[in-house]
Amino acid sequence: MSKPIQAIRGMNDITPQETVFWQYLENALYDLTRRYAYQEIRFPLLDKTELFKRAVGEVTDIVEKEMYTFEDRNGDSLTLRPEGTAPCVRAALEQGLLYNQTQRLWYMGPIFRHERPQKGRYRQFYQFGLEAFGMSGPDIDAEIILFTAELWKTLGLEKHLVLQLNSLGTQEERQAYRDALVAYLTPLENQLDEDSKRRLKKNPLRILDSKNPDMKTLIESAPKLADFLGEQSRQHFETLCKTLDASGVTYVLNPNLVRGLDYYSHAVFEWVSDALGAQATVCAGGRYDVLVELLGGKASPAVGFALGLERVIMLLHELDLFPESLNYHPDVYVVVSAEGTERVMSLVNDWRVALPQLSMLLNCGGGSFKAQFKRADKSGAKLALVLGEEELQQGEVTVKYLRVEKPQEKIALTDLVKFLSDQVSPS
Ligand code: HAM
């Protein structure tokens, strides 16, 4: 036998035991998007490399070292999407969804980043994202944050996540701050760690985001971005905070929250958990008013966020918050004799139509009754329905209870639908 081929590092298979947890989260998200009146948009996994360079920024970790980029057979440089905002804007522009109108969009699917894999950090992971276009006020910022807060409530996570907020102001305000920060840090350059030295030249605001404790005091005494915000930016942010207060959403102001992508302006936020170790950010986003124009559209304000599905699922597992009932098993297992299969197949199909709330597993591939009962037991079904030759001749089904002590009984085929709907409550 040849050696099995293994998956790519940092790219995970999701087993049937796990997909039930994914579906639970996905269903909660579908339900919320409907309740908040957001519409789904789908775009390809691949886009031109230029899109991400222009949108995310040349001097970001994502573009500098994390993209899966390759030349296709035509010699075009393509990239597997390392985030969803840029392709969402590209698609919405191309499809004429942004011209003089508002849009509330969502997407869900795989994202690719060549990062160092560890718990909560993968090379293929899944994001759910919301993007709202054409609205410049803090009301829509508040709406998308409320959406996330509502999601945590639905999942029972509201006590386990902290909302961090900051305002990055306009591009001009940020440029003025950047100059002040560089002026403050340049004389202290020899106290900076290697990462920060590199960032000082290329992307100094990211130094504020440093996780190195040795950099803490230096960062604490640095000039504050909040002092560089103009009146309008300040008001936008204050109104957002007041709206959140009025809705009972609590938050922590974090002046060092700068985000790792270049397109943000004004409000940015992250939901952070202390139960996940190093990869603590579950959901992140903010306003990006210049991106649509940067990607060739008529200027349109925009705001959005994305959450990492793996991290939410990990947190729900960690805190034991998945409902008990999620462990999948069929309600009914149908045991059949080889001779009866043709007739039973059609009978079971009729029952599936009559009882759409039930999950029925019909034994396929033959096997002795003993082997089939073993499978029935392993499947987790509550009932086994036995349709042997004798039963078919008599127009009956033998019902065996697999989870409770109760003698088996015979039910007429004509009464079976009623019997099942009385007996088995859907799981
Ligand atoms: P991001 O902060 O790069 O933002 O990613 C959003 C979320 O994706 C993170 O908070 C985290 O939960 C998850 N995530 C990121 N990298 C990984 C990884 N390697 N493995 C597992 N999960 C990961 C964005 O992508 C922006 N596009 C968000 C946005 C939308 N801003 C405005 N609109």
pLDDT tens digits along 118-174: 999 999 999 999 999 999 999 999 999 999 999 999 999 999 999 999 999 999 999
At residue 289 the predicted structure's pLDDT band, cuts being 50, 70 and 90, is very high
Q: What is the 42 CA–ligand 1 centroid distance (Å)?
A: 18
129 pocket-lining for ligand 1 (C-beta < 6 Å): yes
Choosing from 104, 148, 161, 279 the residue with most ligand 1 atoms within 8 A of its CB, the one to mutate for a pocket test is: 279
Q: What residues form DSSP beta bridges with 305?
A: 130, 285
- Phi first, then psi: what are they for 179, rounded to 5°? -60, -45
388 pocket-lining for ligand 1 (C-beta < 6 Å): no
Residues above pLDDT 90, as percent of the chain: 85
Q: What residues form DSSP beta bridges with 82?
A: none
User: With 60 as the cut, is the pLDDT of residue 76 above it?
Assistant: yes
pLDDT tens digits along 290-304: 999 999 999 999 999
User: With 90 as the cut, is the pLDDT of residue 331 above it?
Assistant: yes
Pairwise CA distance, residues 208 & 221, whole Å: 11
Pairwise CA distance, residues 300 & 291, whole Å: 8
Name residue, tokens 């940020």. Answer: 174
The overall average pLDDT reported for the chain is: 95
307 pocket-lining for ligand 1 (C-beta < 6 Å): yes
Q: What is the 260 CA–ligand 1 centroid distance (Å)?
A: 9
- On the CB side of 278, how many CA atoms lie within 13 Å of its CA? 9
Pairwise CA distance, residues 207 & 192, whole Å: 9
Q: How far is CA 6 from the centre of its chain?
A: 25
pLDDT tens digits along 377-413: 999 999 999 999 999 999 999 999 999 999 999 999 9
Contact 161, 152 (CB under 8 A): yes
